[in-house]
Amino acid sequence: MLAVSAPYRGHGIATALVKKAIDTMIDRDADEVVLETEETNIPAMRLYERLGFLRSKKLHRYYLNGNSAYRLVLLLKPIDPDSAADLALDDDGRSISSRRSSVFMEKHSE
């Protein structure tokens, strides 16, 4: 968990901490960084997306308080586009690859 005390927000502390964590994972040869953040935490979502994270999945009622979250992924190494599923979500929080496959199935099941 990452949190910055209210009086110190807006000074780039969270950005610096996340960048340091990413650099450490790169040094340790990680393939990707995966995290979850509450969907209502707009400042965190902006921070992670500004650093290149993509929303990969909406996690409904993920937290004990009943709030949903997004799983965010930052790829640190190139992937093979022929074998990888889409990581991005559409505007409704659904996986683009899942939606494509369901549309494909609907068109070809008749």
Averaged confidence pLDDT in the chain: 81
The pTM of the full predicted model, rounded to 2 decimals, is: 0.69
Residue 94 has pLDDT above 90, yes or no: no
Q: With bands split at pLDDT 50, 70 and 90, how would you rate the model's confidence at 79?
A: confident
pLDDT band at residue 43 under the 50/70/90 scheme? very high
Q: What pLDDT score was predicted for residue 98?
A: 41
The per-residue pLDDT for 109 is 41
Quick check: 69 and 62 in contact, CB under 8 A? yes
Going from the C-alpha of 77 to that of each of 26, 29, 30, 41, 90, the distances in angstroms are 9, 9, 8, 27, 23
Confidence of residue 8 (pLDDT cuts 50, 70, 90): very high
Confidence class for position 104, pLDDT limits 50, 70, 90: very low
